[in-house]
Structure 1
Amino acid sequence: MSAAQGQGEGTPVNAERDCAWIAARIPHQGRMCLLDAVTDWSADHIVCHALSHTDPAHPLRAAGRLGASNGIEYAAQAMAVHGALVAGADAAPRQGYLTSVRSVTLHAERLDDLPGPLSVRAERLSGDANHVLYRFTLHHGERCLLEGRAAVVLDADQL
């Protein structure tokens, strides 16, 4: 299957899953919606594309730079999009809360000095109806910039 063909329900990944589509399914809006497109997904993983790290007005920039640890937010947004895709078109998006981030390794100091797109991958390792464990990576080309694991609790206010 090509990178342009999502595995989820055999649906092609195309313009329908662009920044506007993503923003409608995550709580972050405007410039805080960091992802530009879903490039591949299945029930177990998602791969997204992002160019927002090159924006001089990026909302997470501090002291004139975008540190690599901000890649965790890119990964968290990919996890939220994955949850929306897995839930299906008819389901209302569920509110997810990042409850822990572990085993994070930074392989770069910053993101804003990298030209071209970032690839954000999140892989569902385990979970149930209300708790999900993901492994995530952020790449620039073949170079891994950041990796780690994250736990997400869904609809925590209802637990």
Structure 2
Amino acid sequence: MLSRADIEARMPHAGASCLLERVIAHDVQTIHCTTRAHLDPANPLRRNGRLDMVCGVEIGMQAAALHGGLHMQTGGPRIGYLTTLRHVSLAPGRLDQPQWGTLQVRATCEQADEQGMRYHFSVESEAGTVLVTGHGFVVLQPQEQQP
């Protein structure tokens, strides 16, 4: 299990921008994280006091970024850019509802190579209600262009 400090050390998101709190399990293909950041009034994705369901996409793709940081580094960390989202499904309502409890965040790497990665992600409530699902495509900056 990885703590919040371990997570921040392996991805570019830090402080309030890091929306994952704990890694429950991970292997070369999948990662399972948890968070209660959706209930934080200081969540940086809130607008007008609300956290809309679409913000779950960011949480899901942060799990994908963390998975990449844990398992797909050749030659050190690389900058990646989310280029495409597909088949995104959002439950009705808002993400910042206490009844969702601790969110269960999962990402599965479906394809990875030197140019990028494709992930399936899901965000579920503590009780198992599917809130957000989709596929995200990340393009990696070429190694020679890394800072």
Whether the 8 Å CA contact 1:97–1:156 is kept in 2: the answer is no
Is 2:90 the counterpart of 1:106?
Answer: yes
Note the C-alpha offset of 1:84.
1.4
Q: 1:105 and 1:156, CA in 2 relative to 1: closer, same or farther beyond 3 A?
A: farther
Shift in Å at residue 156 of structure 1? Answer: 5.0
SS in 1 for 2:98: coil
Contact 1:106/1:145, CA 8 A, preserved across alignment:
yes
**Which ranges in structure 1 are unaligned for 5 or more consecutive residues?**
1-12
Shift of 1:127: 2.3
Q: Which has the higher contact order (CA 8 A, sep 6+)?
A: 2
Greater shift in the superposed pair: 36-45 or 110-119? 110-119
Consecutive unaligned residues of structure 2, counting only runs of 5 or more, are: none
Aligned residue-pair number: 143
| RMSD (CA atoms) | 1.9
Q: TM-score, normalised by structure 1?
A: 0.83
Report the identity percentage: 40
- Structure 1 residues 7-156: aligned runs within 5 Å: 13=1, 17-87=2-72, 92-115=76-99, 116-140=101-125, 141-156=127-142
Q: Tell me: CA distance 1:93–1:108, structure 2 relative to 1, closer, same or farther (3 Å).
A: farther
What TM-score, normalized to structure 2? 0.89
Contact 2:10 2:70 in 1 (8 A): no
